[in-house]
Amino acid sequence: MCGIVAYIGYKQAQPILIKGLQRLEYRGYDSAGISILNGSIKTFKTKGKVSELENHIKNKNTDGEAGIAHTRWATHGVPNTKNAHPHFSKSKSLSLIHNGIIENYAILKEELVKRGYQFKSDTDTEVLVNLIEDIRINENVLLDEAVRIALNQVVGAYAIAILSDEHPNTLIAARKGSPLVIGIGEGEYFLASDATPIVEYTKNVVYLQDEEIAVLTRGEDFKIKTTNNKEKTPYVEELEWNLSELEKGGYEHFMMKEIYEQPRSIRDSMRGRLNTTTGTVSLGGIIDYEQTILAAKRITIVACGTSWHAGLVGEYLFEDIARVPVEVEYASEFRYRNPIIEEGDVVIAISQSGETADTLAAIELAKKKGAIIIGVCNVVGSSIARASHAGSYTHAGPEIGVASTKAFTAQVTVLTLMALRLAQLKGSLSRTKFMQLLMEMEALPTKVEKVLNTNGLTEKIAKKFKDVENFLYLGRGYNFPVALEGALKLKEISYIHAEGYPAAEMKHGPIALIDENMPVVFIAPRLGIYEKVVSNIQEVKARKGRVIAIVTEGDTMVREIADYVIEIPETAEYLMPILASIPLQKLAYHMAVMRGCNVDMPRNLAKSVTVE
């Protein structure tokens, strides 16, 4: 997601900032910008790569010993120069960069518009910088106090850095929900989203905590206070990591980093959409099309790869919760088979990248036939997002590992919210059941944290099976798509042949493969038709197959017969795919690492498939 770099001291700021942005490139972004303070504030912004920004400023005067810089991963407003950070206040006295999402920005903006402010971008960030200026002028307070008052009015997540031409020796930073690290040099300060841009200048860092504001003044000790106006003593830590480790946040591979990001990415997918206090679900992006979706006789889901698996979970969810008939189609098949789509039909297109050529073509075809397209994409402003009539972003953040992990769980989260919203409008679930589900959803990120903490169990299992040539994954109901996704993860990155199957279908073919060399992964939580899955496990054991089972905490029945069990917390049946898919991601990861495969960039695969 977005990257922040800032500097104040006695060196030229520009080279430090540009190099810092380059170090943060791995995070993924779509535009970049820089502000340098030297008397007044000069700002330069470009769409695209940091190298383009570098070219853009090549022959310009960027002298100055203080500055802020940013790489933006669009959330509010499409990726373009206008929406790129830094953003100015009305008087041009303040320049601000921001990571995160200000959820109540629309209300704040309305107030500011009434007071004569005009906005040049579509961003929530421009609202924040003007809010700070408005408070500073109208309440006649110092800048750090204006920042504090403004942040108390903000709902959402932020990491910010502010330059002011009225305070040329000071840089102000604050965080809530999005990380910020302060590097302490000789009379100088560095600031960044993670320590990557800082580590070559200093090893002494302070990790800013939520709701803390830092005032960094050149040549002086720095101060930290909370948004509640309490002074804090900074806790200075010494960095132990080297650069290459830091880029991946200490993980060996992006895939593992992304697996571990899931508590946060799932939370981000639900942020501002799920409200357990009012008992409502709202998806701003589809609000204008809710009646159309409700009126549709059926919904067709089109997608490829992992996104298709998320679509399959969506089919179970929409039919079960919202009682709408759903068909899930491979986009590549759909586009060439003259599908029956009529005026007013609803097509949901799911895509992490938003650029998959087959999915895009499927959309265009459905559109020509009169369908309404609802996009579920991760990349803001991507082609599929733009080609859709409406949609909901998954907000998982950039996914770099080719094998999709956090994007999948975010897609399933958004589809669950959509199904719940329809159920709310249709009244297809009892109020008690609806509320139970909302509460369960809210608890999901914490349960995901628990699932991630398997204490080396998936690694141990991987060690045991790393040299096999085949794997079978079986599940029923909501867990059948999980079986497919588990098998896909394994074959993508470890090159072991793996097949996913509905557990009961096993007897119509795959059972012939089972012998003492065949590992079979069962997704067998104590939900739905659990006993029938237990019978399927017995059938595998009777043929000497080796069983790895994903079970609910405290399970005894499966534990007695399976070779290995991985426990996951209890949750509603509808939400089990999110929890159950995580140990399978970890299993595939460890197997691939032990087999010496290139986990993040597996052979022959691409992250974004823009050809058919």
> Quick check: 585 binds ligand G6P (CB under 6 A)?
no
269 alpha carbon, distance to own chain's centre: 7
Instruction: State which of residues 86, 305, 314, 510 lies at the interface with ligand G6P (CB under 6 A).
Output: 305
51 alpha carbon, distance to own chain's centre: 25
Look up 114 and say whether it is catalytic. Answer: no
Rounded CA gap, 134 and 112, in Å? 8
Q: Which of 345, 424, 401, 423 is nearest to 585 (CA)?
A: 401
Residue closer to ligand G6P by CB (options 353, 585) is: 353
> Quick check: 307 binds ligand G6P (CB under 6 A)?
yes
> Quick check: 265 binds ligand G6P (CB under 6 A)?
no
> Quick check: 100 binds ligand G6P (CB under 6 A)?
no
Tokens 């609803």: give the residue.
346
CA contacts within 13 A on the Cβ side of 353: 20
- Crossing angle for the helix pair 262-270 and 406-426, to the nearest 10 degrees: 30
Instruction: State which of residues 125, 332, 359, 552 lies at the interface with ligand G6P (CB under 6 A).
Output: 359
Instruction: Give pairs for 566-571: CB < 8 Å, separation 24+.
Output: 566/454, 566/457, 566/458, 566/461, 568/447, 568/450, 568/451, 568/525, 569/447, 569/450, 569/451, 570/525, 570/526, 571/440, 571/443, 571/444, 571/447
> Quick check: 609 binds ligand G6P (CB under 6 A)?
yes
Set 2, 304, 377, 597: catalytic member: 2
Tokens 């501002």: give the residue.
272
Rounded CA gap, 74 and 377, in Å? 12
Instruction: State which of residues 323, 467, 605, 610 lies at the interface with ligand G6P (CB under 6 A).
Output: 605
Residue closer to ligand G6P by CB (options 385, 390) is: 385
Least separation, in Å, of the C-beta of 403 and ligand G6P? 6
Which neighbouring-strand residues pair with 175? 159, 212
Instruction: State which of residues 143, 365, 402, 565 lies at the interface with ligand G6P (CB under 6 A).
Output: 402
> Quick check: 306 binds ligand G6P (CB under 6 A)?
yes
Walk across the sheet containing 390-393 and list its strands.
326-330, 299-303, 346-351, 372-377, 390-393
Rounded CA gap, 215 and 165, in Å? 15
Least separation, in Å, of the C-beta of 392 and ligand G6P? 15
Least separation, in Å, of the C-beta of 449 and ligand G6P? 24
Please identify, among the stretches 103-111, 294-302, 304-312, 588-596, the one whose residues bind ligand G6P according to the rule CB under 6 A. Answer: 304-312
Rounded CA gap, 425 and 430, in Å? 12
Please identify, among the stretches 47-55, 138-146, 298-306, 548-556, the one whose residues bind ligand G6P according to the rule CB under 6 A. Answer: 298-306
> Quick check: 304 binds ligand G6P (CB under 6 A)?
yes
Q: What burial letters (b/e) apply to 522-547, b meaning 16+ CB within 10 Å?
A: bbbbbbeebeebbebbebbbeeebbb
Residues across the chain: 612
Least separation, in Å, of the C-beta of 608 and ligand G6P? 6
Nearest to ligand G6P by Cβ — which residue?
305
Please identify, among the stretches 129-137, 155-163, 346-354, 581-589, the one whose residues bind ligand G6P according to the rule CB under 6 A. Answer: 346-354
Residue closer to ligand G6P by CB (options 14, 332) is: 332
Instruction: State which of residues 356, 394, 405, 458 lies at the interface with ligand G6P (CB under 6 A).
Output: 356
Rounded CA gap, 593 and 334, in Å? 36
Instruction: State which of residues 99, 404, 405, 479 lies at the interface with ligand G6P (CB under 6 A).
Output: 404
Please identify, among the stretches 211-219, 299-307, 502-510, 567-575, the one whose residues bind ligand G6P according to the rule CB under 6 A. Answer: 299-307
Number of residues forming the site for ligand G6P (CB under 6 A): 15
**Residue 364 corresponds to which tokens in the numbers above?**
């265009």
> Quick check: 537 binds ligand G6P (CB under 6 A)?
no
> Quick check: 352 binds ligand G6P (CB under 6 A)?
yes
Rounded CA gap, 27 and 29, in Å? 7
> Quick check: 123 binds ligand G6P (CB under 6 A)?
no
Residue closer to ligand G6P by CB (options 222, 330) is: 330
578 alpha carbon, distance to own chain's centre: 14
Set 19, 49, 367, 607: catalytic member: 607
Containing H/E element for 588? helix 576-594
> Quick check: 409 binds ligand G6P (CB under 6 A)?
no
Rounded CA gap, 202 and 11, in Å? 14
Least separation, in Å, of the C-beta of 377 and ligand G6P? 8
> Quick check: 351 binds ligand G6P (CB under 6 A)?
yes
Please identify, among the stretches 105-113, 348-356, 446-454, 473-481, the one whose residues bind ligand G6P according to the rule CB under 6 A. Answer: 348-356
Look up 2 and say whether it is catalytic. Answer: yes
Please identify, among the stretches 165-173, 193-201, 210-218, 345-353, the one whose residues bind ligand G6P according to the rule CB under 6 A. Answer: 345-353
CA contacts within 13 A on the Cβ side of 241: 18
Instruction: State which of residues 99, 353, 392, 424 lies at the interface with ligand G6P (CB under 6 A).
Output: 353
Q: Which residues bind ligand G6P (CB under 6 A)?
A: 304-307, 351-353, 356, 359, 402, 404, 605, 607-609
Residues forming the active site: 2, 607
